[in-house]
Structures are given as structure tokens and as C-alpha cells.
Amino acid sequence: MSTNLRPVPSAPESEISPELLLRLHELMVKARVLEERLIQMYKQGDGYFWIGGPGEEAFNVPLGMLIQKGRGPQFDYCHFHYRNSGTWLAMGGDPIDSLRQMKNTATDPFSGGRNFVGHYSRREWNVVPVSSPIEVQHSMAPGTALAQKRAGGRGITIVTGGDAGTAEGDFSTCLIWSSRPANPLPVLMIVTNNKWGISTSYQGQHGEKRVSDRGKAFGIESKTIDGNDPEVSYREIARAMEYVRSERKPFLLEAMVSRLYGHSSASGANRISDEADCLVGFERKLEERGLRSRKEMDDLRARFTAQLQEAHKKVRDEPQPDGKTIYDNVFADRDLVREG
């Protein structure tokens, strides 16, 4: 990482209990093992395409733990991108469902075999369908936030994206619409900056030192943090969320993260050796503090790996969607989003 991309140091104090640290760790391991399993599925021919977020667990897991999940404007609306598997798991998602989407089975609860892996969707939790076009979620986010502002309460809209996507006009749309003096909106804009857009480096394309600097022009509270540190991430996400929940105004949070397996299967999905691994760093800390031994961590990983191996076998035998279903659900005859 070059000097000008270094995150702003966060306050050193720790407000996180040992129990929470262990829970964070467990979910980070689970998320990593899930992504590794998905890559393996791709390589074994159990899926056409892989994309995901291995390397972002230290940020994505705390994010998922802090989201107020539920249905309707009193809860958080989530406009994710396709690297949020850690967030999904931390919200309580079942990893086997990701495998189902990877294998495009009829049982895939997010899209019934219609969409790529990592494209989560669940109305019960206000997770709107993830879409492949980069950054469009930033244009939709002000809409749900507007409904929340009007409804009152503490529900907020969370929108996530990468650094490369901030070049799209939709990012500016979100900055402008969420900070309109006529009606500022409770939007938490998150940029996980892995310094890459497929094969193109951030540094070659972006003159701004930090993405978060762009918030300043709109009077938006902004910060860049070390997204590879789960303790920092947890604290900073909690603070940003509290600001958005109580002030009903936007916050732009940029987290510097790693990309451990490249962009997607299109670039091979092989392990990148020169990126910092958030899990390795965190495990070292847990060991040093005597919170979890190496053996316990290895056992944990082995347990999740075995569970997902079983899940993989199960998903292999699940049915593919019937071609006759392509016309299903083009039009709704019930207004589900308006039903209580």
C-alpha cells in the first residue's frame, strides 16, 4: 500500500469484549471457508462463475453483526455488492444457500438459479437484490433512505461498493441525493477499497488521495479506516452507524481491504501472496492475548470445512430449475413490499 492510501489511524482504545472478538473470529473463518469452498466448486465444475469477497472479512463481518436486520423502514435497508458474503453470514445467513446459488439450483433462495453467486436477496431482511452492474445500488439507496427518513425511527440505508465503482456517476448521485440541504438522508455509504478494479489499479485512475475526501465537498462526515483490522472496523462501523441513525444524515466510510483471490474466476481465482491477510493478523492477536489457541483455531476451520464439504455434496444432488419456469415471476400480482 502506498503512503497516500494509508488509512487514518483509529483510536486505540478497545471497547470490544473477548466474547465478541471470538464471535468475530468464528464468523471470519466461516466466511473465508465459504469463499474457498465456492472457488473450489467453480474449479470442480460445480458452477459457471465465482465472484466474492475473500480478504474483506475483517470489515464485512462486523458490518453484518451491526446491521439491524428486519423488514420495512424501521430496519436497515441493505444495498450490497457482490463481495458481501461475510456480511451475509454475520447477519445469520446459512452458507449452504450460497452454495446453492453457486450451483444455480432451483433451491437457491435468492434467485432460483437465475443469478451469480454472492447476489443475495431477501425481503424479510431488507436485503435488496444484488446486481452485477457496478454501483447502480448507489442510485437506489437514496430511495429507501427517503422512506426511512419519512417513517421516523432509527432504520438506515447501507450501501456498499468498491473503489473502482466510485468512478461511476451513481456514486456521485448518492453523494448528492443523500446530502441535499432540502432533505439529508440516513445513508451509510461504504467503500471497501481493495485498490483494484479487475486488473486496473486505483492509483493509475484516481487523483483523489482518498475516496472519503469526496464526501467533504458535500459536508458529509467521512472517514478512511483500516478494514483489515476487525476491531477497528467494528468500532468505526458502530460509530458511523450511530451517527447516521441519530443524526439522520449520511456518512461516507472507506475501508482499506485486501483482495486475496483476484477479481473473480475470470482472473483465475488464485491466491494472491502479496496482500495482507486479515485473518492471519487477527489470529495472531487472539493467540497473543490468550483468547484462542492455534489448535482451537485449526479445529474451528476444520469443522467449518467439513460442514461445507457436506453441504457441497448435498447441493450437488439438488434439482436444477426447470426451463419451463423462465416466464415465472415476470409480473407480481401481489404488492408484497406493501403488505405488513
Partner 1 sequence: MSNMVQAIRMALHVAEERHDLTDVFGEDVGPPLGGAFTATQGIKCAWNTPLDERGIVGASIGLGLAGCRNVGEIQFCDYAYNTIDLLKLAGMMYWVSNGDWNCPMTIMTPVGSGIRGSVYHSHSFDATATHIPGFKIAMPSTPRDAYGMLLSCIVDPNPCFFLVPKALMRVRNAPGEEIPGEPGDDRALSKMIDAPLGDRSKWQPRWPETPDLFVPFGEARTVRKGRDVTVVSYGRTLPLCAKAAEELSQENLEVEVIDLRSLWPYDWERLKESVARTGRVLYVNEDTEVTNFGEHLVRRTTDELFYHLAAPPKLLGGAFVPGIGLADNLEMASVPQLPSIRQAISDLAAMEA
What is d(CA 293, CA 291) in angstroms, rounded to the nearest whole number? Answer: 7
- C-alpha closest to that of 264 among 119, 135, 127, 141: 119
Taking a C-beta distance cutoff of 8 angstroms, is the pair 256, 193 a contact? yes
Q: State the minimum distance, in angstroms, from the CB of residue 244 to partner 1.
A: 16
Q: State the minimum distance, in angstroms, from the CB of residue 266 to partner 1.
A: 20
What is residue 21's three-state secondary structure?
A: helix
Q: Which is nearer to partner 1, 90 or 128 (CB)?
A: 128
What is d(CA 73, CA 50) in angstroms, rounded to the nearest whole number? Answer: 32
Q: State the minimum distance, in angstroms, from the CB of residue 85 to partner 1.
A: 18
What is d(CA 278, CA 39) in angstroms, rounded to the nearest whole number? Answer: 19
Q: State the minimum distance, in angstroms, from the CB of residue 293 to partner 1.
A: 43
**226: Cβ–Cβ under 8 A, 6 or more apart, which residues?**
7, 10, 232, 233, 255, 256
Q: Is 24 in the site for partner 1 (CB under 8 A)?
A: no
Q: Which of 23, 69, 114, 245 binds partner 1 (CB under 8 A)?
A: 114
Rounded to 10 deg, the angle between the 278-288 and 18-43 helix axes is 150
Which region among 208-216, 250-258, 285-293, 327-335 touches partner 1 (by CB under 8 A)? 327-335
Q: Is 295 in the site for partner 1 (CB under 8 A)?
A: no
Taking a C-beta distance cutoff of 8 angstroms, is the pair 114, 131 a contact? no
Q: State the minimum distance, in angstroms, from the CB of residue 125 to partner 1.
A: 11
- C-alpha closest to that of 238 among 145, 53, 246: 246
Q: Is 115 in the site for partner 1 (CB under 8 A)?
A: yes
Q: State the minimum distance, in angstroms, from the CB of residue 257 to partner 1.
A: 25
Q: Which is nearer to partner 1, 101 or 258 (CB)?
A: 101
Binding to partner 1 in span 139-198, by CB under 8 A: 139-148, 150, 157, 169-170, 173, 176-177, 180, 182
Q: State the minimum distance, in angstroms, from the CB of residue 112 to partner 1.
A: 4
What is residue 120's three-state secondary structure?
A: coil
Q: Is 212 in the site for partner 1 (CB under 8 A)?
A: no
Using a 10 angstrom Cβ sphere, with 0-12 exposed, 13-18 middle and 19 or more buried, the burial of residue 164 is buried
Q: Is 90 in the site for partner 1 (CB under 8 A)?
A: no
Q: Which is nearer to partner 1, 22 or 321 (CB)?
A: 321
The helix (H) or strand (E) run that includes residue 189 is strand 187-193
Q: Which is nearer to partner 1, 87 or 131 (CB)?
A: 131
Q: Which is nearer to partner 1, 42 or 125 (CB)?
A: 125
Taking a C-beta distance cutoff of 8 angstroms, is the pair 24, 281 a contact? no
Q: Which is nearer to partner 1, 10 or 173 (CB)?
A: 173
What is d(CA 17, CA 259) in angstroms, rounded to the nearest whole number? Answer: 28
Q: State the minimum distance, in angstroms, from the CB of residue 80 to partner 1.
A: 13
Q: Which of 85, 111, 166, 222 binds partner 1 (CB under 8 A)?
A: 111
Taking a C-beta distance cutoff of 8 angstroms, is the pair 250, 187 a contact? yes
End-to-end CA distance of the chain: 48
Q: State the minimum distance, in angstroms, from the CB of residue 145 to partner 1.
A: 7
Binding site for partner 1 (CB under 8 A): 72-73, 77, 110-112, 114-115, 119, 121-123, 128-129, 131, 133, 136, 138-148, 150, 157, 169-170, 173, 176-177, 180, 182, 328-338
